[in-house]
């Protein structure tokens, strides 16, 4: 008897079916990994606006609307995490925003648009 022969106890059809099932599961795993990575990539930027009373009184109330409008016009609403923070603790340099931990101070209606274009587009 030849010792190098491998004897299968199932038909070739079952082997093909099992191979297809394994390939399908591999495909599903790869798709899942891809879309999970894409979900992480799509929310790359974070914009935080100071909503403390000093910054708010100096113009961040208007900045909230300008930022929202900018995000909508450039289809970034689902890609940028935009939120407010009670106070940055830097009132003398307000109004302030932060984009990915980088702080911008003394912003106004003109500078905010330039900052957003440079950081988000």
Give the range of the structural domain holding residue 89, as residue numbers without chain letter: 44-120
Distance of alpha carbon 55 from alpha carbon 31, whole angstroms: 45
Whether 68 maps to a domain, the answer reads yes
CATH number of 81's domain: 3.40.30.10
Distance of alpha carbon 88 from alpha carbon 95, whole angstroms: 10
Whether 92 maps to a domain, the answer reads yes
Domain shared by 48 and 37, yes or no: no
Domain shared by 33 and 53, yes or no: no
Scanning the structure block, which residue is given the tokens 């022969």? 5
Whether 3 maps to a domain, the answer reads no
Domain shared by 37 and 52, yes or no: no
pLDDT tens string 21-36: 777 777 777 777 777 6
**Cβ neighbours of 69 (radius 10 Å):** 11
Whether 2 maps to a domain, the answer reads no
Domain shared by 76 and 87, yes or no: yes
**Cβ neighbours of 71 (radius 10 Å):** 19
Domain shared by 79 and 35, yes or no: no
Cβ density class 4-43: b for 16+ within 10 Å, e for less: eeeeeeeeeeeeeeeeeeeeeeeeeeeeeeeeeeeeeeee
pLDDT tens string 49-104: 998 888 988 888 899 999 999 999 999 987 888 998 888 998 999 999 999 999 99
Scanning the structure block, which residue is given the tokens 């899942």? 32
Domain shared by 74 and 21, yes or no: no
Scanning the structure block, which residue is given the tokens 């979900």? 39
Q: What's the domain count of the chain? A: 2
Task: Tell me what percent of the residues of the chain surpass a pLDDT of 90.
Answer: 38
**pTM of this prediction?**
0.64
Binned at pLDDT 50, 70 and 90, residue 120 comes out as very high
Scanning the structure block, which residue is given the tokens 């106890």? 9
């Amino acid at each position: 008897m030849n010792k190098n022969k491998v004897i299968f106890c199932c038909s070739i059809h079952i082997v093909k079916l099992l191979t297809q099932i394994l390939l399908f599961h591999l495909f599903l795993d790869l798709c899942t990994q891809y879309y999970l990575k894409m979900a992480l990539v799509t929310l790359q930027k974070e914009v935080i606006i100071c909503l403390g009373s000093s910054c708010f009184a100096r113009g961040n109330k208007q900045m909230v609307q300008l930022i929202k409008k900018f995000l909508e016009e450039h289809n970034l609403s689902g890609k940028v995490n935009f939120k407010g923070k009670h106070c940055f603790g830097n009132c003398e340099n307000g109004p302030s925003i932060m984009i990915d931990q980088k702080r911008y101070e003394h912003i106004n209606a003109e500078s905010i648009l330039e900052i957003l274009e440079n950081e988000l587009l």
